[in-house]
């Protein structure tokens, strides 16, 4: 199980980073298709970059679940993993921007990859050492679904706060 778990995390990291990278450009590549917009980056806001991590993590979790039949804590680990990644992206981004006063694309890309690596290291640790008890896996899954709903809703109706503001255009959400 140990080696199999490590292989899952390596595959997950590869697929999530590839999927997130593709999702960054997918909206523009599809001619700004409104059906694609909830699942891809529609602008350069921090929120939209969080979306690039969330959807590939969720898709990978659904596939992985077909093979991980044992762990009762599966969805609790996945919820914690998603919350970790979604917290790290703005924390790292705003911290380095606060320190240096500017944003560099290569650092933003590195943050995405670091966050993906950290969530899969966390997943490995949580499954390996069974450190995350789970009394209500259905609630954990429901919370993940709620996060997905928020990504869809806030694509079209984002709160007018800096997390959702595109630093290049000053706009919020999708521009129809």
Distance (Å, whole) CA 32 – CA 174? 9
pTM here is: 0.91
pLDDT at 70: 67
- The tens place of each residue's pLDDT in the chain, 176 residues long, gives 444 678 889 999 999 999 999 999 999 999 999 999 999 999 999 999 999 999 999 999 999 998 877 677 889 999 999 999 999 999 999 898 888 888 888 888 899 999 999 999 999 888 888 777 788 888 999 999 999 999 999 999 999 999 999 988 999 988 76
pLDDT at 36: 95
pLDDT at 37: 95
pLDDT at 105: 83
Long-range contacts of 128-137, Cβ-Cβ distance < 8 Å, separation of 24 or more: 128/2, 128/5, 130/71, 130/73, 132/73, 132/76, 132/77, 132/80, 133/73, 133/76, 134/72, 134/73, 134/74, 134/75, 134/76, 134/77, 136/76, 137/72, 137/73, 137/74, 137/75, 137/76
């Amino acid at each position: 199980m140990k080696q199999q778990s490590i292989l899952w995390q390596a595959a997950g990291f590869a697929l999530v980073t590839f999927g997130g990278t593709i999702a960054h450009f997918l909206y523009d590549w599809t001619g700004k298709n409104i059906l694609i917009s909830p699942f891809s980056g529609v602008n350069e806001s921090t929120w939209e970059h969080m979306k690039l991590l969330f959807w590939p993590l969720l898709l990978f979790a659904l596939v992985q679940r077909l093979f991980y039949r044992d762990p009762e804590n599966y969805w609790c680990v996945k919820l914690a993993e998603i919350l970790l990644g979604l917290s790290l992206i703005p924390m790292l981004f705003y911290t380095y921007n606060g320190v240096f006063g500017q944003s560099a694309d290569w650092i933003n890309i590195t943050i995405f990859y670091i966050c993906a690596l950290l969530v899969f290291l966390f997943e490995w640790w949580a499954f390996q050492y069974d450190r995350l008890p789970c009394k209500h896996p259905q609630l954990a899954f429901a919370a993940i679904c709620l996060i997905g709903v928020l990504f869809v809703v806030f694509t079209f109706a984002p709160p007018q706060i800096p997390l959702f503001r595109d630093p290049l255009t000053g706009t919020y959400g999708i521009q129809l």
